[in-house]
Amino acid sequence: MAEDAILGFLESNVNISDSGQFAADVGIDHNEIINVIKSLHGFRLVDAQDIKREKWVLTDEGKSYTVAGSPEVQLFLAIPLEGISREELQKKVDSSVYKIGCAQAIKNKWVEMGKQLVSRKIQNVEDRVKDLLLRIRDGEVIDQEDIDALKRRKLIALQTWKGYSLQRGPNYAPKRKKAVTDLTRDHLQRGDWKDLEFKEYNFSAKGPPAEGGYLHPLLKVRKQVQNIFLQMGFEEMPTNNFVESSFWNFDALFQPQQHPARDSHDTFFLKVPSTTRELPEDYVERVKRVHEYGGYGSRGYGYDWKREEANKNLLRTHTTAVSSRMLYLLAQQKPFTPKKYFSIDRVFRNEAVDRTHLAEFHQIEGLVCDRGLTLGDLIGVLHDFFSRLGMSKLRFKPAYNPYTEPSMEIFSYHEGFKKWVEIGNSGMFRPEMLLPMGLPDDVRVIAWGLSLERPTMILYGIDNIRDLFGHKVDLNLIKRNPIFLRNKFQIRSAEMLCLFRGLSISLPT
Ligand code: FB9
């Protein structure tokens, strides 16, 4: 409709000087005309040039004064010749009129604001403001000085009107042939392809964004933690076995068979295959003995250790099971060589699911195995590790694990939450665990662990672990979230990220 009006008009007229006037003449909404002009211009059926016009229009306050008069005049007229008390006057006019009216009337030296009385200083006044507003409304041009005064009083505002003037373009035609984008079988069969308008190829058109794969936030942070360990000279342990024997998951760690964590309330035991196939018999014998009678300076637990209990297969409850396997293998290699190992993989616990706990999570574990290591070395490596994750203010609280003595829970002060957050656990593996493996007497192993989910949730501002895992994950969250901390530039962006999320982490300088 608008297109025919424009193309039709240009068939017999050289140009349309003002699209606004034209819209009014043909009775079509100017915005519709504008959109059609843009499209016709795009296909060069017309050549259009912007025209811009600015005019002063009244604000709502300005409009109200063209009806009720300016506040200073309203106030002046409310003052009887004999004067009136402020209280009385305030009752006669409403508060905004009183406030603005007083200011203007005093400025115009129309009234006297005495202590008691408000009185007129002149007989009568002209409502020049109202007249000016009416003239502006009717499109009259008034002095710049008055414009500035009215603008300062926010009674008028500049309105910019945009339109086009246009004339026939190189591809002008009274009727636009529908540009087709594809030559189809029907066109060929109908033979009407000859007088079809084919749409130009727009070689600079951006194709649909190449949707590459996106790493799940958890894997982005996993990658980051893995890099930190590699930069610290650690080797990754093979964790590709979710199914483990109770022996490596518990017994090798000197965790007694009646320990509460070893019952099915906490641990997923396997029905099939229910028992492990083979264990290093000589080592098993030494583990049995240290549980039952101790040795190596320990008095052991003094209970009747059962092989069938150790044979039970389960879903590993911690990657420390992998550490026990690797330390046992290391102990078989003579001469002893120091090692730094890490693991990041799934562990399974038959726990109640809540906002931050699922029946499985990813455990991050690091260990250093060397002669003469001390608790100080552990605290040192923890500071080094966590400072690379942006956590440098640490505190340690004595804790208990069946396989480490001493043990410490690790806390970091979180600027964003303004509180100390528990960020992991750690300790020195017990001699009852290490010596039966065959490690030299003076070899010590310091180790620590934390989850991957907690840092990922905090860094990505995810409140409920269900938003991190499973079918309810918001794919956009994954798409739009940048990778985390790799170099100075990304630290900057991470800073933005954290700030943006109201988190503040102290990043390594
Ligand atoms: O991850 C945990 N907290 C955490 C870690 C990082 C973090 O980063 C933020 C960006 C700033 C925030 C929080 N925790 C360990 C502490 C708690 O969340 C805790 O309530 C839950 N823990 C899990 C176990 O839950 C039963 C987290 C998991 C955990 C706990 C201990 C170990 C591993 C994982 C361990 C160990 C260990 C000890 C000694 C020797 C070897 C391994």
Ligand 1 geometric centre to CA of 215 (Å): 23
- Is the C-alpha dihedral spanning 217, 222, 224, 225 positive or negative? positive
The residue whose C-alpha atom lies closest to atom 36 belonging to ligand 1 is: 449
The residue whose C-alpha atom lies closest to atom 32 belonging to ligand 1 is: 449
Q: Residue by residue, what is the 3-state secondary structure of 6-64?
A: HHHHHHHCCEECCHHHHHHHHCCCHHHHHHHHHHHHHCCCEEEEEEEEEEEEECHHHHH
- Per-residue model confidence (pLDDT) at position 493: 55
Distances (CA, A) of 244 to 113, 269, 308, 341, 429: 93, 10, 14, 19, 20
- Per-residue model confidence (pLDDT) at position 505: 47
The residue whose C-alpha atom lies closest to atom 8 belonging to ligand 1 is: 455
- Per-residue model confidence (pLDDT) at position 358: 81
**Three-class DSSP category at 141:** coil
**Three-class DSSP category at 328:** helix
**Three-class DSSP category at 97:** helix
- Per-residue model confidence (pLDDT) at position 277: 93
Ligand 1 geometric centre to CA of 36 (Å): 62
| CA gap 106, 52 in Å, rounded | 40
Contacts of 453 (CB under 8 A, 6+ apart): 218, 356, 358, 361, 362, 465, 468
- Per-residue model confidence (pLDDT) at position 416: 84
| CA gap 396, 7 in Å, rounded | 80
The residue whose C-alpha atom lies closest to atom 23 belonging to ligand 1 is: 451
- Measured from the Cα of 422, ligand 1's closest atom is 16
pTM: 0.63
Ligand 1 geometric centre to CA of 379 (Å): 16
Q: Which two tokens stand for residue 470?
A: 């499973």
* Residue (of 464, 441, 459, 260) closest to 357 by Cα position: 464
Q: b/e for 29-60, b at 16 or more Cβ within 10 A?
A: ebeebbebbeebbebebbbbeeeeeeebebbe
Q: b/e for 375-390, b at 16 or more Cβ within 10 A?
A: eeebbebbeebbbbbb
C-alpha R_g of the chain = 41
| CA gap 143, 305 in Å, rounded | 104
The residue whose C-alpha atom lies closest to atom 39 belonging to ligand 1 is: 426
- Is the C-alpha dihedral spanning 75, 80, 84, 88 positive or negative? negative
pLDDT, averaged per 10 consecutive residues of the chain (509 residues), comes to 92 94 94 94 92 92 95 95 92 92 94 90 94 94 94 94 94 83 88 82 86 85 96 98 97 95 90 96 98 97 97 97 98 97 96 80 97 98 95 96 97 90 97 98 98 89 80 72 52 52 48
Q: b/e for 127-149, b at 16 or more Cβ within 10 A?
A: bebbebbeebeeeeeeeeebbee
- Per-residue model confidence (pLDDT) at position 256: 97
The residue whose C-alpha atom lies closest to atom 38 belonging to ligand 1 is: 426
Ligand 1 geometric centre to CA of 492 (Å): 27
- Per-residue model confidence (pLDDT) at position 491: 52
Beta strands 235-236; 339-348: pairing state? parallel
Is the CB of residue 179 less than 8 Å from the CB of residue 61? Answer: no
- Per-residue model confidence (pLDDT) at position 273: 96
| CA gap 497, 459 in Å, rounded | 9
Ligand 1 geometric centre to CA of 451 (Å): 5
Ligand 1 geometric centre to CA of 401 (Å): 13
Q: List, chain by chain if needed, residues with CB within 6 Å of any ligand 1 atom.
A: 320, 363, 365, 391, 401, 404, 421-427, 447-451, 454-455, 458-459
DSSP 483: P
| CA gap 426, 343 in Å, rounded | 14
| CA gap 342, 328 in Å, rounded | 15
Ligand 1 geometric centre to CA of 490 (Å): 26
Is the CB of residue 438 less than 8 Å from the CB of residue 422? Answer: no
Beta partners for residue 404, in sequence order: 401, 429
**Three-class DSSP category at 481:** coil
